[in-house]
Structure 1
Amino acid sequence: MIIDLRSDTVTKPSPEMLNAIMNAEVGDDVYKEDPTVNALEERIANMFGKETALFFPSGSMANQAAIKLHTQPGEQLIADKYAHVFNYEGGGVSFNSGVSCKLIDGYRGMITSDQVLASINPPDFYHSPLTSLVCVENTTNKGGGACYDFEEIIKIKKVCTDHDLGYHLDGARLWNALIAMKEDPKQYGEVFDTISVCLSKGLGAPMGSVLVGNHEIMQKAIRIRKVLGGGMRQIGYMAAAGLYAVENHVDRLKEDHKKAKEIGQVLQELPFVTGVEPIDTNIIIFTISGNEEEFIAKMGAKNIHFYGMGQGKLRFVTHLDYTTEMHEYFLGVLQTL
């Protein structure tokens, strides 16, 4: 038995998802003639109450396209210091859009409206970059799957409105937040100008993210996707996997959250574990007193695989392919350490 807790991206299509893939009706999506892609985009747009959606090969590309839609070269976006768009997208903010980031020291990757307000550069002070966009991430990856209080999201929106700033949500794991916080996607659609949602994190699809927004902001999205190399042909096979995932794998995320909390409870009882961060969804971040690399290697020898995050932190991520049998075995291994 191999237990892979490195990420919720390591899942493989289920037999039912493979069946949906094999039976998909496809066309040339560059010509917008793939009926399955069109159905996926319509489904996601309707879920969030938005006019337009566009299928992307990756979440990073969807986020980078959104940033390009909202900004001009030389401008600046505001984000938390843990933000995925800054830490894990290969410097795409500067490479693709010529934009800099003003990073906020938030709490577990989450920022407040007061912090956003304090970070806006005066628009008439031409020595500093013009602030044009606020990016938030929900749930937060580096923040351990933390979920925003929606009231704070609304407060940040008011700051954006008052200062004519775009508002983008990196919702790679928004599905987890919706389940954990018992929220409606349309709540988010009413607040954010653009939202990216991932189909391969948590939901088990092999690839793909969808960017949603109203028609005006999304007019140039397909052109930007083309420039970034994201034009795809008979991609309806992967869109079919995404449709299956959205229809069948969202509600079950609560199982991943439950298992994550149970892992956290066991970790807190271990003498060499010096801290476990709050567990809101499917990500467990903790610290140990011993050598991290030795611990990772020791667990690897037991066919249990996970990552170190640096700065003394280790991470487990529960997911669709982490079964109850694996969970019971894993908890047993932890309790014997």
Structure 2
Amino acid sequence: MEINLISDTVTKPSHEMLQQMFRARVGDDVYKQDPSVNELEEAVAGLFGKEAGLFFPSGTMANQTAIKLHTQPGDELICDKWAHVYNYEGGGAAFNSGVSCRLIDGDRGMITAQQVRDAINPPDFYHSPLTSLVCIENTTNKGGGACYDLQTLRDIKEVCTQNNLKYHLDGARLWNALVAKRQHPRQFGELFDTVSICFSKGLGAPVGSVLVGSKADMNRALRIRKVLGGGMRQAGYLAAAGMYALQHNVGRLEEDHRRAKQLGQLLSQLPWVKSVEPVETNILIFSVRDGYSEAAVIEKLKQKSIFISSMGQGKLRIVTHLDYKEVMHQYVVETLSRFTL
């Protein structure tokens, strides 16, 4: 039995999800004639109180489309220094949109309204890039699954409105935040111009994200998606997985959060662990004490058929997910309890 805790992207479709995929009604989505894709787009847009949605093969493409949508070449976007749009999207902001990033030193991947205000370039100072977009990530990946407080997001929105900036949410793990903080999608739809929502992480679908926004923005996004190569044909088989995930896999995220918190409590008591970052959702980040090797931890756990990942600088990451069952969890708890280096 291998236990893969490297990421929540490693999940495979359940039997029930596969059955819904097999039964999907499909058409040619490039012509907007795939009923399953149209159904998912409308459902997600409705959840967030937005006019329209657009299905994408990846969250990266959805984010990159949003950046292109809201900026012009030479502009600058504001984001946290750990943001996915900067660290893990292949330099796409520069490559696709000709946009630079103003990086903010936030707290666990989260930034404040004052930090955003301080980072805005004067619009009449043509020597510096024109600030045009603020990108938020919730939950934060490198920040250990941290969740923004809604009031903080409202305060940032006010700064955006005052300075004529667009506001995009990378919601790759937004479902986790919604469950953990007892929030509603419409609370985010009201704040952001666009939101990208992923189905292939905590919700367990094999592929897919939906970008939501105004009809006008999604019409423009359709053209950008085409340019980026994101037009798919009978994509309804994938959209059906997303719809199943939406209907069946949101509430159970609490189980992933519970297990991550339990592992965090256990690790904080082990002599070779230096620190455990606060655990709010399904991502657990911890550091080893000086003199211990993160590579050695990974290798010894691998020998026990437990796979975790390194974040460098002594930090290790565990991510709980749909395919991490209770029997696996008990095995990991027992293994860590006896674990020595």
TM-score normalised by the shorter chain: which range applies?
Answer: over 0.9
Counterpart residue type for residue 87 of structure 1: N
Secondary structure at the counterpart of residue 219 of structure 1 = helix
Structure 1 letter corresponding to 2:158: K
Which one of the candidate residues 285, 305, 313 is aligned to 1:311?
313
Q: In the alignment, which residue of structure 1 is the partner of 2:200?
A: 200
Residue 164 of structure 1 deviates from its aligned partner by 0.3
- SS at the partner of 1:295? helix
Are residues 1:87 and 2:87 paired? yes
Which residue in 2 is equivalent to 1:267?
A: 267
Contact 2:293 2:314 in 1 (8 A): no
| Distance in 1 (alpha carbons) for counterparts of 2:315 and 2:294 | 8
In 2, Cα distance between equivalents of 1:123 and 1:227: 30
SS in 2 for 1:202: coil
Please list, as runs of the form range in 1=range in 2, the aligned pairs for 1:255-334 lying within 5 A after superposition. 255-289=255-289, 290-334=292-336
Moved over 2 A (4+): 216-219
Give, in angstroms, the shift of residue 231 of structure 1. Answer: 0.3
Q: How many residues align?
A: 337
Is 1:247 aligned with 2:237?
Answer: no
1:1-337, aligned counterparts within 5 Å?
1-289=1-289, 290-337=292-339
CA positional deviation for 1:217: 2.3
Q: Secondary structure at the match of 1:101?
A: strand
Q: CA deviation at 1:216?
A: 2.5
CA RMSD of aligned residues (A): 0.5
Shift of 1:178: 0.2
Q: Is the 8 A contact 1:69 1:218 kept in 2?
A: no
Tell me if structure 2 keeps the 8 A contact 1:70–1:133. yes
TM-score normalised over the length of structure 2: 0.98
SS in 1 for 2:9: coil
Distance 2:128 2:83 in 1: 22
Deviation string, structure 1 residues 79-113 (Cα, Å, up to 9, x no partner): 00000000000000000000000000000000000
Output one character per residue of 1:24-60: Cα deviation in whole Å (capped at 9) or x when no partner. 0000000000000000000000000000100000000
- Counterpart Cα distance in 1 of 2:313 and 2:192: 33
SS at match of 1:78: strand
Look up the SS of the partner of 1:73 in the other structure.
Answer: coil
What amino acid maps onto 1:305 in structure 2? F
Deviation of the 1:218 alpha carbon: 2.2
Amino acid at match of 1:73: P
CA deviations on 1:254-291 (whole Å, 9 max, x unpaired) are 00000000000110110000000000000000001211
Question: Could you tell me how far 1:219 is from its partner in structure 2?
Answer: 2.3
Q: Partners of 1:311 and 1:155 in 2: how far apart?
A: 33
| Shift, 1:312, TM fit | 1.3
Aligned residue identity for 1:285: I
Which ranges of structure 1 fall in alignment gaps of 5 or more residues? none
Normalised by the length of structure 1, the TM-score is 1.00
- In the alignment, the residues of structure 1 paired with residue 326 and residue 254 of structure 2 have an alpha-carbon distance, to the nearest angstrom, of 13
1:277 and 1:107 map into 2 onto residues whose CA distance is: 12
- Report the identity percentage: 65
In 2, Cα distance between equivalents of 1:147 and 1:292: 26
